[in-house]
């Protein structure tokens, strides 16, 4: 993480000035657009019993996570890594779910330590994981809440619905340092299906075994909560009987890939880049794969409707049909927002294109 002093002096240097004075490449978020996205999602949950647990992976910024927590529908924060959870807890977030497996005794001990002052729950899908977490908890005199991860088709983690879940729930119940809190799932294999009706049909089908598993557990006396869902499914999964929490992440800042299926949320973040080379109407900018997540989707140059991205190289993104001059600062919407934020130590915050703030991206590079 960047030294606070450096952040402060950078902010002092640019605060109150035009966004176009910032060095490039930088990531910039428009505060009004961001707040509109947060309010829209919050509004979806208003008057329902379901809660939002926004995913930290999408922005990795503790200040933004605290802003999300200030909405009434938000119950806590989701993250993928132990080191992300540590940043969140250090930043004052008291309810965190690591929606992923954490394996390794050095790591499970760190989870137990966090549980001294906060509620940090973890997904599990193996006896080994349960036993390592339990040992660490017993050593430190805490209890760790666990969610059994159920694989509903993504094949990334989790056990199959039904009996395999019941078996792990029973092991957790009979193991000293841990507590069974419910089920974790993620419909990642269908969350971005382009056709909404098809997406809805698949989500309904693929989530059914999850709800049957919940019923099975409840028959056996377990009390169960289910955490699942993403930006592409919030209004499908988020209306299902049996869902308690949604883990949407991308809705906050968005990206070009998600924008194609979720037009109701605004692209609140862009990369400010400089045109550094020009060959006729083909231009190259100073941001490439080392500053922009482009595993899928296409970067978009804002304000150049005819521009077409030709390719993204390590340090360049190249557009054709683009009448821009060398030295112009342009705005590029990244194809994949989550990996984009992971490249930057800080995100500039603007209002009406005037620099208003600078937020650290504490979760940058949090791989452990």
Candidates 202-210, 241-249, 261-269, 285-293; binding stretch for ligand PLP (CB under 6 A)? 241-249
**Structure tokens belonging to residue 129:** 């994981």
> Nearest approach, Cβ of 54 to ligand PLP (angstroms)?
8
> Nearest approach, Cβ of 344 to ligand PLP (angstroms)?
18
Residue 16: alpha-carbon gap to chain centroid: 30
Nearest C-alpha neighbor of 19 from the set 289, 335, 302: 302
Q: Does 247 bind ligand PLP (CB under 6 A)?
A: yes
> Please, which residue, 230 or 288, has the CB nearer to ligand PLP?
230
Would you say 219 and 231 are in contact if contact means Cβ atoms under 8 Å apart?
no
3-class DSSP assignment, residue 29: strand
3-class DSSP assignment, residue 231: coil
Among 37, 68, 132, 250, binds ligand PLP (CB under 6 A): 250
Would you say 354 and 19 are in contact if contact means Cβ atoms under 8 Å apart?
yes
Query: What would the x/- binding string for ligand PLP be over residues 194 to 233, using CB under 6 A?
Result: ------------------------------------xxx-
Q: Does 248 bind ligand PLP (CB under 6 A)?
A: yes
Q: Does 142 bind ligand PLP (CB under 6 A)?
A: no
Nearest C-alpha neighbor of 14 from the set 250, 307, 347, 317: 347
Among 186, 265, 348, 359, binds ligand PLP (CB under 6 A): 186
> Please, which residue, 188 or 345, has the CB nearer to ligand PLP?
188
> Nearest approach, Cβ of 47 to ligand PLP (angstroms)?
22
Q: Does 188 bind ligand PLP (CB under 6 A)?
A: yes
> Nearest approach, Cβ of 149 to ligand PLP (angstroms)?
9
Start-to-end C-alpha separation, the chain: 15
Using Cβ positions, the residue closest to ligand PLP within the complex turns out to be 230
> Please, which residue, 135 or 245, has the CB nearer to ligand PLP?
245
What is the pairing mode between strands 51-52 and 245-246?
Answer: parallel
Candidates 20-28, 37-45, 133-141, 245-253; binding stretch for ligand PLP (CB under 6 A)? 245-253
> Please, which residue, 122 or 358, has the CB nearer to ligand PLP?
122
Among 99, 146, 253, 361, binds ligand PLP (CB under 6 A): 99
> Please, which residue, 285 or 341, has the CB nearer to ligand PLP?
341
Distances from the Cα of 80 to the Cα of 8, 55, 69, 243, 252, angstroms: 29, 8, 18, 20, 17
> Please, which residue, 57 or 110, has the CB nearer to ligand PLP?
57
Q: Does 243 bind ligand PLP (CB under 6 A)?
A: no
Would you say 63 and 11 are in contact if contact means Cβ atoms under 8 Å apart?
no
> Please, which residue, 98 or 355, has the CB nearer to ligand PLP?
98
- What residues pair up with 119 in beta bridges, in sequence order? 95
Torsion, Cα 168 169 174 179, to 10 degrees, reads 120
Q: Does 238 bind ligand PLP (CB under 6 A)?
A: no
Would you say 159 and 153 are in contact if contact means Cβ atoms under 8 Å apart?
no
> Nearest approach, Cβ of 348 to ligand PLP (angstroms)?
22
Residue 199: alpha-carbon gap to chain centroid: 20
Q: Does 191 bind ligand PLP (CB under 6 A)?
A: yes
Phi/psi of residue 114, nearest 5 degrees: -60, -30
**Structure tokens belonging to residue 346:** 């800080």
Q: Does 157 bind ligand PLP (CB under 6 A)?
A: no
Residue 102: alpha-carbon gap to chain centroid: 18
- What residues pair up with 293 in beta bridges, in sequence order? 336
**Structure tokens belonging to residue 119:** 């509620």
> Nearest approach, Cβ of 74 to ligand PLP (angstroms)?
14
- Footprint on this chain of ligand PLP (rule: CB under 6 A): 55, 58, 78, 99, 186, 188, 191, 230-232, 247-250
């Amino acid at each position: 993480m960047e030294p606070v002093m450096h952040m402060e002096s950078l902010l002092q240097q640019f605060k109150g000035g035009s966004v176009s004075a910032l060095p490039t490449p930088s990531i910039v978020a428009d505060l009004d657009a961001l707040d509109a996205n947060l309010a829209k999602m919050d509004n979806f949950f208003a008057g329902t019993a379901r809660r939002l647990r926004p995913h930290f992976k999408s922005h990795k910024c503790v200040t933004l996570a605290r802003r999300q927590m200030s909405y009434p529908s938000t119950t806590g924060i989701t993250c993928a890594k132990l080191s992300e959870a540590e940043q969140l807890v250090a930043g004052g977030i008291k309810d965190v779910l690591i929606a992923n497996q954490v394996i390794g005794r050095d790591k499970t001990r760190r989870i137990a330590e966090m549980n001294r002052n906060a509620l940090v729950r973890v997904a599990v899908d193996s006896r080994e994981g349960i036993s390592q977490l339990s040992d660490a908890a017993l050593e430190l005199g805490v209890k760790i809440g666990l969610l059994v991860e159920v694989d509903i088709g993504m094949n990334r983690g989790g056990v199959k619905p039904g009996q395999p879940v019941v078996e792990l729930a029973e092991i957790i119940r009979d193991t000293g340092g841990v507590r069974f809190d419910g089920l974790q799932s993620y419909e990642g294999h269908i969350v971005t299906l382009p056709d909404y009706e098809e997406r809805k049909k698949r989500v309904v089908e693929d989530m059914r075994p999850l709800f049957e598993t919940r019923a099975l557990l409840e028959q056996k006396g377990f009390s169960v909560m289910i955490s699942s869902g993403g930006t592409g499914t919030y209004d499908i999964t988020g209306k299902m009987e049996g869902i308690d929490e949604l883990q949407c992440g991308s809705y906050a800042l968005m990206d070009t890939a998600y924008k194609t299926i979720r037009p109701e949320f605004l692209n609140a973040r862009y990369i400010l880049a400089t045109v550094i080379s020009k060959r006729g109407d083909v231009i190259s900018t100073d941001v490439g794969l080392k500053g922009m997540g482009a595993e899928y989707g296409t970067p978009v140059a804002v304000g150049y409707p005819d521009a077409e991205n030709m390719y993204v190289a390590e340090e360049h993104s190249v557009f054709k049909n683009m009448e821009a001059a060398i030295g112009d600062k342009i705005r590029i919407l990244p194809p994949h927002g989550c990996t984009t934020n992971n490249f930057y130590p800080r995100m500039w915050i603007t209002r009406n294109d005037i620099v208003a703030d600078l937020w650290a991206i504490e979760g940058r590079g949090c791989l452990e």
